[in-house]
Structure 1
Amino acid sequence: MHSFIPPERFFPYLTWTEVQAMPDKANVVLVQPLGAIEQHGPHLPLIVDAAIGGAVLGKALQQLEASVPAYALPPLYYGKSNEHWHFPGTITLSAQTLLATISEIAESVYRAGFRKLVLMNSHGGQPQVLEIAARDLHVKYEDFSIFPLFVWQAPHIAKELLSPQELKLGIHAGDAETSLMLAILPNQIRMEKAIAEYPPEQPEGSLLSIEGKLPFAWTTRDLSQSGVIGDPTTASAEKGDRLLESLAAGWVQVIRDVYAFQPPRQR
């Protein structure tokens, strides 16, 4: 049941009496992985986002020193994926359902005495929902610290491994995700079906982009016929191993920082 997560760090394996007796619960770090079940082109399985988040968190928790109390909650596999719903297999929650689910999970752990919750998101279509949930929960419970974080926000070495075009435009099922999946779940990858497809770029000089400071709303069908936005044909397990190691190391530091975090108070 724990998948990539070390069993001693998997919250559901605890008993209620162990949770009740846990010392210094206000500083124990709980991590809620959030992924998606959505199309990732003809070569990758639907579980990509959830698998990457789980693998990164699992390796980070393996490397984390035992003196830092941190546990993984069960992953939430479904997310807000309606930008992909023109492609069969995508399963999506509404923003309202995802917001309610996150909020009710958070309130449950708060009721048990925990005060630090990381929302570890690995799907690019839902960071805004997590940010709204985190802010509203903190407004409701001022002593509750919520961290709405994206897997790829931790330090990593993608710039050393990917082409400039891929770094700019390879946002879905491209080199990075395919390389990670070749390292994580190689038997589920259909590399013979991998194709490269980049979205049309905006006119020269335009400030608008599909992602960034001045984005516009889009669905995947607007940008890609295959569901791929990037170039997976250059992916390799070796790149995936290096990406995974760097992301995990970054997340070790993230968890340490959350454990040491003290909420700012305006005097």
Structure 2
Amino acid sequence: MFPTRHWHHMTTEEIRGADTSRWIAVLPLAAIEQHGPHLPLGTDLVIAEGQVARVIELLPRDCPVTFLPVQAIGKSNEHAGFPGTLTLSWETATRAWIEIGEGLAASGITKLVMVSSHGGNMAVLDTVALELRARFGILAVVTRWGRFGQPEGVFSAEEISVGIHGGDIETSLMLHLAPELVRLERSADFLSAQGTLKARYRHLRAHGAHAFGWLSSDLNPSGVVGNAAIATADKGRASLDHAAWGFVELLQEMETYELDCDVAPS
């Protein structure tokens, strides 16, 4: 049988009787954390749920993909100084996500995509992916919705580079997905210390190739960065679709790929 699009909608008997080795499981991850004065604590969760829903709309019916429930709380200790933030330690997150993979392996799953709407999860997920490969033989891919880039001409290069938390991109996504949760009158152009670093230093950055570990208040006292004041729902819709189509392509590539060490010339 083909999987249902939601893992938790199937029965144990349906999974037992299926060739689950052909399935691709998707584990979406998010966060509950401060997003400044204008966005809710659940911004990353709303975005993750919206992206999953759009991918499901776009997926070809014969693509054997099933989505696990979104992991709402992630590793967010860079935001722990702000009220409302909930975070797992890196130890707890690592253990929990490996154990989810272990359960999938026990059900016959051999391919997994872990996709996050929160950047703070990524370092943990890289470790988890390797552990799942080494321990259980799972092909585990790690990505973020933002890694598929942005549609041409929608956001400025500066905003894509610097506005990494609560700026134009995330605010636009929220205006598209849940406008009733956006306090637009409190939005602003939240400048980032990343800009100062770029002006003063050749290599040193808060994020990028030569980055230091930062707390969100190291970038801006408000805990957010980027120009939220120019956000629009139309830009959010374009961003959501761009990432969703990229993710569909990734899933289709995974469907045809096997870990057989194919080193033949392309």
In the aligned structure 2, how far is the partner of 1:55 from the partner of 1:175? Answer: 17
Q: Decide which of 62, 72, 80 is 1:77's aligned counterpart.
A: 72
Aligned residues of 1:156 and 1:243 also touching (Cα < 8 A): yes
Paired with 1:121 and 1:193, the residues of 2 have a C-alpha distance of 26
Aligned counterparts, 1:86-165, within 5 A: 86-142=81-137, 144-157=138-151, 159-165=152-158
- Whether 1:184 aligns to 2:180 is no
Structure 1 CA distance for aligned equivalents of residues 119 and 241 of structure 2:
21
In structure 2, the residue matched to 1:172 is 165
2:225 matched to 1:229? yes
Q: Any idea what SS the aligned residue of 1:26 has?
A: helix
RMSD: 1.6
Tell me the distance in 1 between the aligned counterparts of 2:75 and 2:11.
31
TM-score, length-scaled by structure 1: 0.92
User: 1:9 is paired with a residue of what secondary structure?
Assistant: coil
Report the AA paired with residue 165 of structure 2.
H
Per-residue CA deviation, residues 239-260 of structure 1 (Å, 9 max, x unaligned), is: 1111111111111111111211
Q: What corresponds to 1:4 in structure 2? A: none
**TM-score between both structures, scaled by the size of structure 2:** 0.93
Q: Does 1:20 align with 2:16?
A: yes
User: 4+ runs of 1 displaced by more than 3 Å?
Assistant: none
Contact 1:220–1:227 (CA under 8 A) maintained in structure 2: yes
Q: Which range moves more in the overlay, 31-40 or 119-128?
A: 119-128
Once the two structures are superposed, residues 190-241 of structure 1 have per-residue CA deviations (whole angstroms, 9 ceiling, x without a partner) of 1011122112211434201111110011101112122221110000001111
The answer as to 2:248 corresponding to 1:252 is: yes
C-alpha contact (below 8 Å) 1:195/1:228 kept by paired residues: no
Structure 2, gaps ≥5 residues long: none
Report the counterpart of residue 241 of structure 1 in structure 2.
237
